[in-house]
């Protein structure tokens, strides 16, 4: 058992490492592809060589980042087979479909036209080259779409049914998988946040060009384009974030409770603005969960339910299966103890089905299948030893959510300030503190992006598939020492990859800052 949990922990650590490194590249690829396409469109429409030079500048940054993102993405997909083979078998028909579409169509589209982007100058017409840039940007977004559809299905498993004959889930409705509200919100929230990250990157690098006192026109023009895309992106990201909060409240209420450090909810539940998790808080005791914090009255009810007086359940409410009406009356739902019992009944029914199948008893198979179907929605709870195991790491989820929100608020102000200075007060762009602030914000936007994924993934633990499959049942039958070895190998490889990415980026940026971009051929 100890080795089993060691395999689970090391496999999760390895996947988290790979995913977080991969996500350093993906949002920049998404956003830069759009910015490059917009800049090339300006060159196409105006015939101004300035925009051609600026387009080529940011296209170089896009190309460096794209190559590193592909490398880490391939490793991430292989890990599903090497470390999480039980998961891959259990949901392969469903989870594999969007990933296959991404590889066959979306990645094929972007990888085909990216070649024209980089090597097609003076070999194809201006119009065809522009179309290639836009098709690359579209391909990048489509790749993100199908990967996010797969991830959203893990958060909210829709459009499927369990086939006891195959001992696995099979797709029942592709449209429900691809168009679930969770998938739609996740897609737009993620892509739009990529616009923001790339916009900050462009503004930050432009501030470096200004710091070196060269290429002011390139820098200011880049800040204007990035400022508009970033402002639109952050506003829409906040809007889709609101939609995501509603969906989390609906399908993952335990995640929402962890995000707020909420143990007992109420009607008109407040939202913790700033606070600290009480490290001594345990489920069932009388300790306050939050210390040294302040609360926005009724904020969480508005965020989660769009109703200032709505009841929002806490961790203990969900475990006990309790909700409150607007009048304060108690409603009993399905407690976690009852879910565990239902999950075990479902697993017992599946075992009986298999015995009947081996014996060739069709009637017993039919009866077992009906029992399984009745309790299958809680199938995964049968693997838990206690309701407390279904509670995610509260402190990490709580703090990551606040880092994301506060950083997002800062980024909105940053974008508005960048536009104001680029259009009305360009003299402020010559201020060294402003330039250094632009560079520092590059780190802030990446922290914000990673924090969002920590909320999404840590907040749904212990589930690989919400309510159906906990992490410890999804792993491959391998030795923990093997996973530990590959973990440290990946640490070394990713460190070298990051060093190469940053080194090449910095070298290229320094090179560009030393020449007159608009004058050099």
- In this prediction, residues 144-155 reach a mean pLDDT of 90
- pLDDT for res 391: 94
Residues 6+ apart with CB under 8 A from 196: 31, 230, 233, 234, 237, 411, 415, 445
> 116-130, 197-211, 398-412: which has the minimum mean pLDDT?
116-130
**% of residues, the chain, pLDDT over 70:** 98
| Euclidean distance between CA atoms 177 and 183, whole angstroms | 8
Q: What pLDDT, on the 0 to 100 scale, is given for residue 3? A: 58
| CA 25 to each of CA 11, 208, 360: distance values in angstroms, whole numbers, following the listed order | 22, 21, 53
Tens of pLDDT along 406-460? 999 999 999 999 999 999 988 898 899 999 999 999 999 999 999 999 999 999 9
Predicted confidence (pLDDT) per residue in 217-258, tens digit? 888 999 999 999 999 999 999 999 999 999 999 999 999 999
Three-state SS sequence of 361-394: CHHHHHHHHHHHHHHHHHHHHHHCCCHHHHCCCH
Residues 6 or more apart whose Cβ sits within 8 Å of residue 5: 472
d(CA 56, CA 329): 64
**Mean pLDDT (the chain, rounded):** 89
Pick the closest to residue 30 from 59, 64, 66, 79 (CA basis). Answer: 66
Residue 296 has pLDDT above 60, yes or no: yes
pLDDT the model gives residue 520: 57
- Per the model's pLDDT, the better-predicted residue between 213 and 418 turns out to be 418
| pLDDT of 290 over the 60 cut | yes
Confidence at 398, pLDDT banded by 50, 70, 90: very high
DSSP notation for 133-183: HHHHHHHHHHHHHHHHHHHHHHHS--SEEEETTTTEEEES-HHHHHT-HHH
Report the predicted TM-score, pTM, of the whole model to 2 decimal places: 0.91
Q: Where are the alpha helices (DSSP H) in 252-314?
A: 253-260, 299-305
Is-cis flag, bond preceding 71, omega within 30? no
What number of other Cβ atoms are within 10 A of residue 489's Cβ?
A: 11
- The whole-number pLDDT of residue 439 equals 94
Q: Where are the beta strands (DSSP E) in 168-236?
A: 168-171
Lowest mean pLDDT across 130-139, 245-254, 259-268, 291-300? 291-300
Q: What is the pLDDT of residues 171-196, one digit of tens each?
A: 888 999 999 999 999 999 999 999 99
Q: Which of 51-65, 351-365, 369-383, 505-519 has the lowest mean pLDDT?
A: 505-519
């Amino acid at each position: 058992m100890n080795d089993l949990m060691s395999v689970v922990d090391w496999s999760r650590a390895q996947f988290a490492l790979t995913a977080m490194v991969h996500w350093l590249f993906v949002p920049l690829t998404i956003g830069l592809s759009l910015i490059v396409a917009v800049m090339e469109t300006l060159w196409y429409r105006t015939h101004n060589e300035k925009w051609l030079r600026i387009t080529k500048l940011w296209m170089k940054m896009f190309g460096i980042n794209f190559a590193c993102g592909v490398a880490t993405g391939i490793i991430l997909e292989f890990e599903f087979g090497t470390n999480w083979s039980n998961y891959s078998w259990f949901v392969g028909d469903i989870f594999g479909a969007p990933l296959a579409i991404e590889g066959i169509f979306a990645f094929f589209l972007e990888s085909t036209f990216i070649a024209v982007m980089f090597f097609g100058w003076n070999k194809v017409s201006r119009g065809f080259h522009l179309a290639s840039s836009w098709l690359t940007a579209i391909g990048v977004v489509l790749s993100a779409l199908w990967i996010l559809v797969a991830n959203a299905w893990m958060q909210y498993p829709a459009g499927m049914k369990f086939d006891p004959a195959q001992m696995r889930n099979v797709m029942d409705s592709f449209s429900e998988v691809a168009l679930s509200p969770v998938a739609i919100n996740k897609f737009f929230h993620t892509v739009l946040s990529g616009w923001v990250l790339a916009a900050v990157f462009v503004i930050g690098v432009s501030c470096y060009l200004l710091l070196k006192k060269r290429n002011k026109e390139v820098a200011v023009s880049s800040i204007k384009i990035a400022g508009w895309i970033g402002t639109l992106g952050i506003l829409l990201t906040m809007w889709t974030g609101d939609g995501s909060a509603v969906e989390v409240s609906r399908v993952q209420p335990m995640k929402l409770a962890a995000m707020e450090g909420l143990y007992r909810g109420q009607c008109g539940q407040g939202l913790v603005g700033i606070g600290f998790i009480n490290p001594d808080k345990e489920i069932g005791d009388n300790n306050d969960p939050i210390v040294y914090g302040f609360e926005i009255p009724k904020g969480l009810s508005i965020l989660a339910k769009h109703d200032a007086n709505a009841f929002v359940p806490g961790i203990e409410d969900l475990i006990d299966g309790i909700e409150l009406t607007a009048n304060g009356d108690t409603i009993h739902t399905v407690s976690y103890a009852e879910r565990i019992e239902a999950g075990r009944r479902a697993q017992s029914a599946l075992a009986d089905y298999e015995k009947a199948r081996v014996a060739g008893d069709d009637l017993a198979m039919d009866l077992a299948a009906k029992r399984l179907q009745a309790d299958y929605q809680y199938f995964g709870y049968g693997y838990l030893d206690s309701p407390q195991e279904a509670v995610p790491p509260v402190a990490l989820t709580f703090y990551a959510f606040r880092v994301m929100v506060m950083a997002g608020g800062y980024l909105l102000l940053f974008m508005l300030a960048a536009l104001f200075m680029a259009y009305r007060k360009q003299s402020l762009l010559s201020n060294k503190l402003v330039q250094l602030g632009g560079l520092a914000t590059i780190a802030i936007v990446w922290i914000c992006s990673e924090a969002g994924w920590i909320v999404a993934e840590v907040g749904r633990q212990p589930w690989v598939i919400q309510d159906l499959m906990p992490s410890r049942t999804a792993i491959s039958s391998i030795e923990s020492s093997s996973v530990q070895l590959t973990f440290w190998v990946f640490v070394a490889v990713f460190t070298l990859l990051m060093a190469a990415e940053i080194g090449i980026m910095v070298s290229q940026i320094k090179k560009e800052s030393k020449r007159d971009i608009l004058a050099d051929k």
